Every structure is written in structure tokens, then in C-alpha cells.
Amino acid sequence: MPASADSIPGRERAIELALTGAEYDSIVELLGREPNEVELAMYSLLWSEHCAYKHSKKVLRRLPTEGERLLLGVGENAGAVGVAGLAVAFKVESHNHPSAVEPFQGAATGVGGILRDVIALGARPVAMLDSLRFGYPSSARSRWLLDRAVAGIGHYGNSIGVPTVGGEIHFDPSYESNCLVNAMCVGIADPDRLMRCAATGVGNRVILMGALTGRDGIGGASVLASTELGEDDADKRPTVQIGDPFAEKKVLEACLELIDSDLLVALQDLGAAGLTSSASEMAAQGEVGLDVDVAKVPLREADMEPFEIMVSESQERMLAIVEPSKVDAVKAICDKWELLCTDIGVVTDTRHMRIFRGEELVGDIPVTTLVDDCPLYDLAPEKPAQGLYPAPPADLPDRGDTAETLLALLAGANIASRVPVFEQYDSIVQARTVRRPDDADAAVLALPAGEDGTRPAIAVSIDGNGRRVAADPNGGALEAVLECAANLACVGAQPLGLTNCLNFGNPEKPHTAWQLIEAVDGLAKGCEALGIPVVGGNVSLYNEGPDGPILPTPVVGMVGEMPDASVTSTSGFAREGLAIALVGPFEPSLVASELAARRGNAPEGVLPSVALESVLAAHAAVRDGVRSGAIESAHDISEGGLAVALAECVALGSVGCAVEVPELDDVSLFGEAPGRGFIVSGSRELVEAIPGAVVIGDTGGPNLTITDSDGERVSVAAADLREARDGGLRRFLP
């Protein structure tokens, strides 16, 4: 019974802290008494949506989490798969609400947070990817969010020496007041040295490493991450957190050196809910108790209350479990890296989290009640009678000149060149990057050479298309998985595992619940088809603004393997005289397509069906073609359809091309069926031999020329394609 139990904040305070009355009652029941201030603060965060997955945990059970290449799965800080004798750890996480409030710091600390999840496994982060969603850049606020979020991602990733090798950006009015900033980190570790987060060994010390603890983001997890953003965002602003990549760089190097020196029992990052979440997760996983003395925590501001210290979200901190005999060695390495390192507690057999201020016991909670006993809610899904999303403003005519339509699509913010964004990211530090952004459809990272001297590689990609998920949550989510896998196939990689971030609106609303359940089922189908596990991910709910929910946006990140880094492809046509082939069951429609949106159509209708078997056969054919060298360039047909894909192959390459298609109509030129079709090029006899490949033309000349069987023809100069594509986003990021 904690001494300060005399101060009982009570039920009203609990409700202010975003707990429900019923939740408060079950806390009282579990505790056998009313929680004091410290305890209530801890419950309010660990029982928040962000930490407890109250509305998503049951849904997530649908996801396959087993695979023979899986080394570490859901439940750890990040998942990991085995590649060429190494553990490749990866996870995507969202920082949406903080980024909507302060995009630079919100995005920067988002990158810092996912980096620490990977570091916590003892992996060296080797790549970052980012997935961004904003309102149309015609809006000044969206331009500001884009500009600052990108700068923040670059600031953190560049400064810490982790290359940002890929990502995606999509603009839609539904994100106007609720942008999405998802960041994915990939790390490499020695499989025998993978760290777990389970605290074990009664008597072992609890060591806090890294930055000073201040009043950063107090209430952040419950206030910022689990409630809709309203008019009063301003009040939430004091909780803005500042990222310090320099501090994190020292955390990174020190942690990896500590693990190499075999000095740690367990390691955990401090993320949402700070010390409370990390300490209780470690205790829960290890089925032990922890005693923590907040008086020992080094503070940035004097006079912080125990509850503030327990929930502070100050960045760049890690928590380690260390055998008493090794504490001095740990301190020595932290000193070398000019890193604070403080012994703040001990592992106990009580299975309680006991919080002390010096001698005084200020909080005493059974660990399981914090971590496992939060009520999980069933969703009440209901398929909405009609479409939920308003038609976007039209800026293209329903009947347009084909060449003009093509150029307009290429110049559109959703399709235009991302150079102005990814040029702000260091994509090459660590000297692994074999394919940089725009070189190929997925980033390729070389791994150390094996005995025979060849260097294997991993390929990474991140994808999502909320518009298609809005039209059909199940099919759209499946498409996201297929498109991500298609990107890997383009560089010759075989998918090994998937991570995802589920960005949705308020799950207590029946239609959002329906979107969530259907989308997760679609993701699961995709994983089952590819035979890969979900290794981890993140859920971001309540993404709504005054003007309604965001498009349902599951973002999929994938890691694949390649036997030889030096045998891969480019997206662009590399040289004259190559045969161009279409591979895959590509039967497009305009439903929820980019052209449909530009013509002012709401994201509604029936998506083209997916013939999984032939889709996977096409992926295999492209992958094998790249690996055998038959395919020199490969690009999957996604937004903007066949014509845009061809234009990109020309714009990114060094030559034009001439192809013939059955029909020169909008559907065959601009219709979409993501993840199903590929444009490949290579020498004719080799390309003709690719299973399912249909040769449609040749590379060469200064133009992109498309003709149909009855001689109709559209031709655009490569220079004009490049100009349209290059200027589309640049004009918003001068």
C-alpha cells in the first residue's frame, strides 16, 4: 500500500485522462483500492488505445505471424527474419498526430522512435523508409506539412547516419487536417545476439541510458495519440517533443557496443508512455517485478512529480537490465560515448511495478494489471450503405486529349517525380545502397559477401493506397500487399516478411470498424498467398478531423532477399533496341484510379478482381527473369496505369519506346490494377522466353509512342514527359 495513497485523484480525473468510467472501475477492482495519482497516470497511458490496442488487438489476431524464416515476431520491439546468416529486423510505426501538430519535430521524433525499436533488438539500423499522406498541395497548410515533415525526417535520419532509401507520398483531401507520417526502419543483427525485452534475473539492475528526463509529451500517449484532433490542438502543443539525433547516435553506438560486449540481459526503448511502458513491458515479458526509484532518474527540470517522471516521453532514452557485476562495465562504455547511464532500480520476484521516491513507496501495481488486463473491445462493424468520401474537385475533363491527359497525370502531385523530397535524404551512407530512389522499383541494400565472394542483398519497399482501400477495404489492402511484393519482384527479390501500419479513423464508428476488419483480412490474404508472416507493425486510430475520417490507409512494408546484389534491374529503359513486354494478368479499371480522382470521382466502385495464382506466377516470372539477367528493366504498373508506367520507364531511362496495345482508350491506358502487371525490357529472344510475357514493342527513339491495332496513335517526346514529371512536386517545394 503506497504511502502517498492518501492523494486519490478519483473517477473524474480518470475520465479526464481518457479512461472510461468502466475502465476506472475495473482498475479499482484489480487493485483492490482506488489508484493514487502515480498509479492512475500509469494506467491511463498503458490502457490507452496507443499502448493497449483496445480496439485492434482482436482484429490483429487474423494476421499470420508464422514463417520458417521468422526469427522474431509480433510482441517484440520489432520483428526479424533470417537472411544469409543475418537477422534483418524491421518495423513501421506512425507519428501522425504529433506531426499534424508540429510536422518537423513530429516527423523527426517519429524516425527517432522507430530507430530505437530496431536498436532495442541489438540491430544496427541500415535503412529508413517513410510513407506520407497530406491534403492536396494546393492548400498552404498541406504544403507546409509536407515541407516540414520531409525536412524533419531528413534531419533525423541524415544526422544519425542511417540512409533513407525509399518511401511514398500520397495527397488526398481526406488527409487535409490529419496528415499521416509513417516511418519504417530496417536493421541488421547477428542472430545469436538478438536482444529480447524480457527482464529476468531477480536482483539484476535496471539501468536508464540516454537523455535527461523532462516534461516532454506528458500525457502524449493518451492525449495526442488516442483522441481526435479538435479545434483546441493549441492546448496540446506544450507536449511537443524535440528530437536530438546526436543523442540518439550516441545511444545507438553505445547500445551496440554494450551488446557486442555481452553486458546486457535485456534492452528496451522508451517510447510512448516512457518509463511506465518500457518498465512494465519488460517486467511482464519476464514475469518478474521491478522496483524503480524516480529520485534517481536524472532530470532536465527540477521539481518533477513522480508521475511526471514515470510518464515523460523524453526522447533518446533506453532501459536495460544488467547483472550487478556488469554495471561498472556498462557505465564505462556509456561514459566513453558521453552518455548518461543511471542505476534506477532492481528486478524483483514480486511481479509488481513498485515506484519509489527515495525510501517512499509512491506506486505499487501488479504488472499484469497494467499490461494484460486492459479490457479489449469488440468492434461493431457495419458496411456503410453508400460511399463515405466526398468526390474530390475535378481538374481534368471527362474526355481529354490522350497526350494531354498523360502529361497532366505525370505532372500531378500523386505521380510526379519525388526527387525534391528524396534529395533531402541521405540515401547512401553506410555504403550498402545498390539501388537508390528512382533507380529501381525497390531499394536494394548489399550484404557482406559470402564464402564465394558474391554479395547477397535485401530489397525493401513500402506501399499503400487509401483510395483503393476506401472503395474496397479488403481488396484494396490485398492490392497493397501485392504491389509491395511486385516492387520487390522488379529488382529480383523474394518477399520474406511484412510489417504494416494501420492508419484508420475512429474504430468506435461502425463503418471505420468495418474498414479495419476488412482491411486486416485483405492483408492476411496477401500474406498467406505470398507465404510470409507479419513480423510486426503499428496501429494508428482516431485519424479524423473536423471534416471526417481519413481514407482507410493500411501501409505495408516488406523485406525481400536477393542472392546476388550485382544482378538486379532498373525501372527505366536502359538502352536502344530492347524488347518491351507486358507481364501479368493486368485487367485494369478506372475505379478509384488516379485519373478517376482527377476527374472528380469519389473513390467508389468494384476493384478489378485478383487472380492470385497468375499474379504470383507473374511475380515469379519477373523475379526469375531479373535474376537470370533476361530482364534489364522492370517496373510495376500502378497509379496512372499502363501509359504512365511506360512514361516513367522512358523518363527514368535514357531512351524512348514504341509499343502497340489493343485499344487506345482511357481504361487500357490509364486504368489501374496494382500489383498485377509489369513492364519489362530485355533482349528480344530472352524476353520472349519469359513465361506469360507479351512483347508489345521496342525501346528506342526520342519519343514514347503508343499505337493500337487499328493504327490510332499517341506520341509524346521523352523530354516533355520528363519536364512534366519533374515539375509536378518541385513547384510545391521550391
Partner 1 sequence: MRIGVVRFPGSCDETDALDACSLVADAELLWHGSTDLDAVDAVVVPGGFSYGDYLRPGAIARFSPVMEAVAKFAADGGPVLGICNGFQVLCEAGLLPGALLPNDSLRFVCRQVDLIVERPTTPWTAACDAGERLSIPSKHANGRWYADPDTVARLESNGQVVFRYAPGENPNGSVADIAGVCSEQGNVVGLMPHPEHAVDSLTGSADGLKLFSSVLKERTGAGIS
Partner 2 sequence: MKARVLIRPKQGILDPQGQTVERALPALGFTGISNVSVGRLVELEVADASQLESLCEQLLANTLIEDFEIQLDGD
Instruction: Tell me which of partner 2, partner 1, Mg ion, none is bound by residue 215, counting a contact when its beta carbon lies within the kind-specific cut-off of 5 to 8 angstroms.
Output: partner 2
Residue number with CB closer to partner 2 (314 or 540): 314
Distance CA 585, CA 524 (A): 21
# residues near ligand ADP by CB under 6 A: 19
Cβ(137)–Cβ(143) below 8 Å: yes
Helix (H), strand (E) at residue 508: none
Of 620, 183, 202, 666, nearest to 396 (Cα)? 666
539 binds ligand ADP (CB under 6 A): yes
Distance CA 370, CA 149 (A): 34
Residue number with CB closer to partner 2 (242 or 394): 242
Residue number with CB closer to partner 2 (102 or 281): 102
Helix (H), strand (E) at residue 55: none
Window contacting Mg ion (CB under 5 A); options: 56-64, 235-243, 266-274, 383-391: 266-274
Indicate which single residue of 75, 298, 387, 546 sits in contact with ligand ADP (rule: CB under 6 A): 75
Name 343's Cβ contacts closer than 8 Å, sequence gap at least 6.
Answer: 205, 206, 207, 296, 327
Indicate which single residue of 41, 60, 86, 321 sits in contact with ligand ADP (rule: CB under 6 A): 60
Indicate which single residue of 4, 77, 512, 638 sits in contact with ligand ADP (rule: CB under 6 A): 77
Helical packing angle, 245-260 and 103-119, nearest 10°: 0
Nearest approach, Cβ of residue 151 and partner 2 (Å): 12
76 binds partner 1 (CB under 8 A): no
Indicate which single residue of 142, 268, 405, 433 sits in contact with partner 1 (rule: CB under 8 A): 433
Residue number with CB closer to partner 1 (222 or 433): 433
Of 700, 541, 663, 676, nearest to 616 (Cα)? 676
Of 337, 345, 284, nearest to 309 (Cα)? 345
**485-to-117, 499, 588, 607, 673 alpha-carbon distances in Å:** 24, 12, 18, 19, 14
Which triple of cell numbers denotes residue 528? 498467406
Distance CA 346, CA 324 (A): 9
Distance CA 688, CA 682 (A): 9
Amino acid occupying residue 36? N
Indicate which single residue of 17, 19, 41, 63 sits in contact with ligand ADP (rule: CB under 6 A): 63
77 binds Mg ion (CB under 5 A): yes
Indicate which single residue of 102, 117, 130, 439 sits in contact with Mg ion (rule: CB under 5 A): 117
Nearest approach, Cβ of residue 520 and partner 1 (Å): 36
Nearest approach, Cβ of residue 363 and Mg ion (Å): 22
Given strand 352-357, what is the order of strands in its sheet? 266-269, 317-322, 205-210, 341-348, 289-293, 352-357, 360-366
Window contacting ligand ADP (CB under 6 A); options: 68-76, 316-324, 325-333, 650-658: 68-76
429 binds partner 1 (CB under 8 A): yes
Distance CA 127, CA 186 (A): 5
Instruction: Tell me which of Mg ion, partner 1, ligand ADP, none is bound by residue 573, counting a contact when its beta carbon lies within the kind-specific cut-off of 5 to 8 angstroms.
Output: none
161 binds partner 1 (CB under 8 A): yes
Residue number with CB closer to partner 1 (161 or 400): 161
Residue number with CB closer to ligand ADP (414 or 538): 538
Q: Are strands 544-545 and 548-549 parallel, antiparallel or unpaired?
A: antiparallel
Nearest approach, Cβ of residue 224 and Mg ion (Å): 17
Instruction: Tell me which of ligand ADP, partner 1, partner 2, none is bound by residue 458, counting a contact when its beta carbon lies within the kind-specific cut-off of 5 to 8 angstroms.
Output: none
Residue number with CB closer to partner 2 (102 or 373): 102
Name 580's Cβ contacts closer than 8 Å, sequence gap at least 6.
Answer: 573, 646, 649, 657, 659, 679, 680, 681, 687, 695, 696, 697, 698, 699
Distance CA 36, CA 362 (A): 8
Binding mask of the shown chain, residues 368 to 407, with x at each position contacting partner 1 by CB under 8 A: ----------------------------------------
Indicate which single residue of 176, 244, 269, 561 sits in contact with Mg ion (rule: CB under 5 A): 269
Query: Coil, strand or helix: which one is 391?
Result: coil
Which triple of cell numbers denotes residue 312? 515523460
Binding mask of the shown chain, residues 108 to 147, with x at each position contacting partner 1 by CB under 8 A: ----------------------------------------
Query: Coil, strand or helix: which one is 183?
Result: strand
Indicate which single residue of 430, 506, 628, 705 sits in contact with partner 1 (rule: CB under 8 A): 430
Q: Scanning the structure block, which residue is given the C-alpha cell 503499428? A: 538
Binding mask of the shown chain, residues 446 to 485, with x at each position contacting ligand ADP by CB under 6 A: ----------------------------------------
Residue number with CB closer to partner 1 (250 or 317): 250
Rg, Å, the chain Cα set: 26
455 binds partner 1 (CB under 8 A): yes
Tell me which residues touch partner 2 (CB under 8 A).
101-102, 105, 211, 214-216, 237, 240-242, 244, 246-247, 300-301, 314-315, 338
Indicate which single residue of 10, 12, 75, 246 sits in contact with partner 1 (rule: CB under 8 A): 246
Binding mask of the shown chain, residues 564 to 593, with x at each position contacting partner 1 by CB under 8 A: -xx---------------------------
- Residues between 332 and 361 that touch partner 1 (CB under 8 A): 337-338
DSSP state string for 336-390: HTT--EEEEEEEESS-EEEEEETTEEEEEEEHHHHHT-SPPPPP-----SS--SP
Distance CA 639, CA 571 (A): 15
Residue number with CB closer to partner 1 (154 or 507): 154
117 binds ligand ADP (CB under 6 A): yes
Indicate which single residue of 35, 167, 271, 466 sits in contact with ligand ADP (rule: CB under 6 A): 271
Q: Scanning the structure block, which residue is given the C-alpha cell 485519373? A: 595
Indicate which single residue of 133, 215, 250, 467 sits in contact with partner 1 (rule: CB under 8 A): 250
CA torsion 72-74-78-81 (nearest 10°) is 40
Nearest approach, Cβ of residue 89 and partner 1 (Å): 19
Which triple of cell numbers denotes residue 230? 479538435
Catalytic residue numbers read: 50, 95
202 binds partner 1 (CB under 8 A): no
Q: Interface with partner 1 by CB under 8 A: which residues?
A: 151, 154-155, 158-161, 244-247, 249-250, 337-338, 422-434, 436, 446, 455, 565-566
Q: Interface with Mg ion by CB under 5 A: which residues?
A: 77, 117, 269
